[in-house]
Amino acid sequence: MACCFNFFNALGGKQQQQEVKKSILPVSPGKCLVFVMLQLDWLSDDGQSLRNKADMRRQLTLLKTAGVRGVMGDIWWGLCEPQPGKYHFGGVLELCDLLQELGLQLQAVMSFHQCGGNVGDTATYPLPAWALDVAKEKGLLYTSRAGAVSEDCLSLSADKEVIFPSTNGGPRTALQCYQDYMAAFVGATGSHMGTTVCELQIGMGPCGELRYPSYQMSSGWNWPGVGLVMAHDSGMLRMLKAETGMDEPPAALPEEQNALPDDIPCFRAAEPGADASSTGFRSGPCKVFLEWYSSALMRHGRDMLTQATLALHRARCSPSVSGLTFSVKVSGLHWHVTHPSRATEACAGYNCCTSDSADAYCSIAKLLADSAKVAKRPVIFNFTCMEMTNNSSGGVPTALSAPEDLIAQVRRACINHNVPLAGENALEFDLATSGWAFDQMEKQIRSYSPGRDAMHGITLLRLGDGFVKPDSLEALGHFVSRN
């Protein structure tokens, strides 16, 4: 009764109360857990409080009636560690206390990337200046052949470079910076870990995803361009030379980020009747490079998960395996999936092209399975584009887009390695009028058996006033109750 009373009062107005009485709300969480992403700027400008606590309380109170399990929030590195070793987690604690009071949970994203310049970005949070300035000076930011530099995140070539300042001024590696940040977060949230905080998503690249920043809207990229290889920073070139003997990536790789696969010598498909093994991406320098480029990314992912495990040990955090999971976000690069080169994925570091057995998603799933054994807790494979269909290319046949086929490939990889799969929608949609999106996500959820391949959860973009209107809550509640 108290829950219904609070819900009616939060909505306000007799007419709205009458509308609610006709609805199915409140509903309980379903078998497939549903979370909602917070706004990008949910933290105050200094990170020490919620930006608008009253609004958030109102929205979360309403959201709970639709049966969601909780919210996902970015814990921005650039905001919460303004000086080396000086952490501002006051806003995180305030959120955790509020969620605990309301009976909701938090998927906490360790956001070691900048906010701004990507699809859906409505706020700007750069990397911490003390890290960004050093990386610029040392050539440890991802760079294209033409010299375009991405400030989305540090290059993975910075992982073991002992150059970043610490609290006492002594240098540390990028991996040590990430571990220190996660350990400080775990220590600050204390008893909320494994209860209110149910998941740590470990940021591993641009947009928090395990990939290279191969396509950047802020630099003129347009869909369905394949993007660029980002391996020309000093650090990546040193790694490439040491591990392959190559001085630089092959010239046959993309020079124009909006090019299509058959415009690019390395990615051009074989002529009909020709031997596919003779194509650029399956032979010679391109094959060697693409396999190295992908393997370097996989190593980075493994190392980041190791840092998360070490951070928990340092903070003396021992929640039960069921109480806290790790997760890794993998980008749904669905365009040019039906081209033999899988060029978009290859530029981002996902190798599905250099041999018949090349399957980046199997490699990632194996990485997560191996890391879960070390961490002694599940590591979730979090994949985007769950609302998209193979007909979602907007009438652009040159996109060669197949998101449903891609999700099926990811699903098989997760089943084969016994890794839990969760998903997100790629683009925001209006809950009240987009039944098609809910139907497609429900199709993806229900295509799983109730066994080990049962889908773990769905996280929806993005909490705001439109999300908690009566008709939106009703649509969300129906989706939750069916799954």
Give the active site residue among 209, 345, 387, 442: 209
33: β partners: 457
Alpha-carbon distances of 262 from 225, 229, 278, 333, rounded to whole Å: 11, 16, 15, 18
Which positions ≥6 away from 181 have C-beta within 8 Å?
Answer: 77, 80, 81, 87, 110, 112
248 tagged catalytic? no
Residue 58, helix vs strand vs coil: helix
Residue 391, helix vs strand vs coil: coil
> Are 427 and 440 within 8 A, CB to CB?
no
424 tagged catalytic? yes
Whole-number Å distance between alpha carbons of 28 and 285: 55
Give the active site residue among 151, 199, 345, 424: 424
DSSP letter (8 states) at residue 84 = T
Whole-number Å distance between alpha carbons of 48 and 56: 15
The DSSP result for 160-226, as a single string, is T---B--TTS--B-HHHHHHHHHHHHHHHHGGGBTTTEEEEEE--SGGGBSS-----GGGT--TT--
Whole-number Å distance between alpha carbons of 124 and 14: 40
Q: Which of 358, 359, 347, 150 is nearest to 252 (CA)?
A: 347
Whole-number Å distance between alpha carbons of 420 and 455: 7
- Integer-rounded Cα Rg, in Å, for the chain is 22
Q: Which of 376, 452, 466, 448 is nearest to 407 (CA)?
A: 448
State the residue for tokens 């009703």.
474
Q: For strand 379-383 and strand 421-424, is the pairing parallel, antiparallel, or unpaired?
A: parallel
Single-letter residue type at 134: V
Whole-number Å distance between alpha carbons of 482 and 281: 44
Q: Where are the beta strands (DSSP E) in 235-333?
A: 325-330
Positions annotated as catalytic residues are 209, 424
